[in-house]
Amino acid sequence: MPTLTPESLAAVFVQPYPDGRFDGAAAAHLLKLGNQRPAVVLAFPPKAAGTFFRTAVEAVIDGQLLRAVHALGGRDATPYLPTFISYFSGNMTPKPLVAHMHMQALPANVNFLETFGIRPVVMTRSIPDMLASYWDMLEGDPQARLDGLNCLIPVDFTAMMPERKADFLIDILGPWYVSFFASWFRYAAQAPSQVRILSYREFREDPARALMRAVAHAGLARTREQCRAALDETWNIRGECRFNKGEEGRGAQYFSPEQIARLDRMLSAYSHLAPHRDELLALGQPLAQAV
């Protein structure tokens, strides 16, 4: 049984406002707790090297991966208050917390993070490339077909014709990815010091620098040499980290120009995504050197 102070125990049962804000004594206590221990929260979309990256984070800071969401079924993460209260109160692990959460920057989520003073890290990547990788995962992983991504995966997905699979991924999963980036780029514009946005291309071209930027953002700065060593260690177990192809431009092999145009129309619903359109729809050539 975790050891909690009366104030922390009371905070577990405080219901926030509908937008996720706490106030009064609860808000003051939770922020005080958050200042007591470091936390690296990776708010990555699925198939953006999240499992590989968080494993490297664990290695370089000697951290501990904790399931910090209410449940994984459905995949659209909601932070779980008891986990954070317990961790920041000194329970669960003596190591720094590492959390990997498929979480949009919707009001309830960012207000939760700000309550504890947590500054998340986000990875951007071409949406067609991520959907291509997600397609591969659905083909080969029955558990992934049960989890879904804020949606229900058809029971006959593996038996569908490729055209139907492509339409499903674009029309049903595509909107989640578009909303994900719309929410995080909006939050980054509103609170630029709160969120660190990394790009997949940056990660591929200079993985040590990307890892350095991520952990430094959480107040756990490490040297390039330490980051390089952690990445090398993680690369040796990349199969266990669900490392797929790690290539740019794979989306062009899975989706037609018309399907990519549908994603483009979704992005156009958010005018602030216009500067990021090329990055989010990039269909370039694979980089020559792997991570």
Model pLDDT for residues 1-53, shown as the tens digit of each residue? 568 999 999 999 999 999 999 999 999 999 999 999 999 999 999 999 999 99
Among residues of the chain, what percentage have pLDDT more than 70? 92
Does residue 288 lie within any of the structural domains?
no
What residues are paired with 121 via a beta bridge?
A: 42, 196
pLDDT of residue 288: 31
pLDDT in tens, 242-253: 665 667 788 989
Confidence band for 147, pLDDT divided at 50, 70 and 90 = confident
Q: Which residues, other chains included, contact 47 with Cβ-Cβ below 8 Å and sequence gap of 6+?
A: 125, 129, 130, 131, 133, 134, 137, 244
**What's residue 1's pLDDT?**
55
Which position has the higher pLDDT, 150 or 255? 255
75: pLDDT confidence band, cut at 50, 70 and 90? low
Asked if the structure places residue 100 within a domain, the reply is: yes
Residue 16, domain member (yes or no) = yes
b/e map 55-87, b = 16+ CB within 10 Å = bbbbbbbebebbebbeeeebbbbbbbbebbbbb
Residue 235, pLDDT score: 87
Indicate the pLDDT class of residue 286, thresholds 50, 70 and 90. Answer: very low
Mean pLDDT of 130-142: 93
**Chain position carrying tokens 């930027």:** 213
286 lies in a domain?
no
Task: Tell me what the mean pLDDT of segment 193-204 comes to.
Answer: 94
At residue 13, the 3 state secondary structure works out as coil
What's residue 290's pLDDT?
30
| Structure tokens, 147 | 């989890």
Q: 87 lies in which domain range?
A: 6-281
Reported as a pLDDT band with limits 50, 70 and 90, residue 115 is: very high
Res 158: pLDDT:
95
Please report the pLDDT score of residue 237 as a whole number: 78
Which of 80, 72, 68, 77 minimizes the C-alpha distance to 144?
Answer: 72
Alpha helices (H) along 141-173: 142-147, 162-168
Residue 258 lies in a domain: yes
59: domain CATH number is 3.40.50.300
> Dihedral, CA atoms, 184, 188, 193, 196, nearest 10 degrees?
50
Number of structural domains in the chain: 1
> What tens digit of pLDDT does each residue of 267-284 get?
999 999 999 999 999 854
Residue 146 lies in a domain: yes
Task: Examine residue 192 and state whether it is found in any structural domain, yes or no.
Answer: yes
Rounded CA-CA distance 164/160 in Å is 6
Work out the average pLDDT over 192-210.
95
CA 2, distance to chain mean position in Å, is: 27
Q: Write out 194-252 in H/E/C secondary structure.
A: CCEEEEHHHHHHCHHHHHHHHHHHCCCCCCHHHHHHHHHHHHCCCCCCCCCCCCCCCHH
CA-CA distance, 161 to 180, in Å (whole number)? 28
Taking a C-beta distance cutoff of 8 angstroms, is the pair 79, 104 a contact? Answer: no
What's the per-residue H, E or C state across 175-193?
A: HHHHHHHHHHHHHHHHCCC
Per-residue pLDDT reduced to its tens digit, 172-197:
999 999 999 999 999 999 999 999 99
pLDDT tens readout for residues 58-68: 999 999 999 99
Examine residue 1 and state whether it is found in any structural domain, yes or no: no
| Burial of residue 140, with CB atoms counted within 10 A of its CB: 0-12 exposed, 13-18 middle, 19 or more buried | exposed
Sheet with strand 39-42: strands edge to edge: 64-65, 97-100, 39-42, 121-124, 196-199
Nearest to 43 by CA among 86, 98, 84, 108: 98
Structure tokens, 60: 């370089």
Q: In the prediction, which pLDDT does 72 show?
A: 73
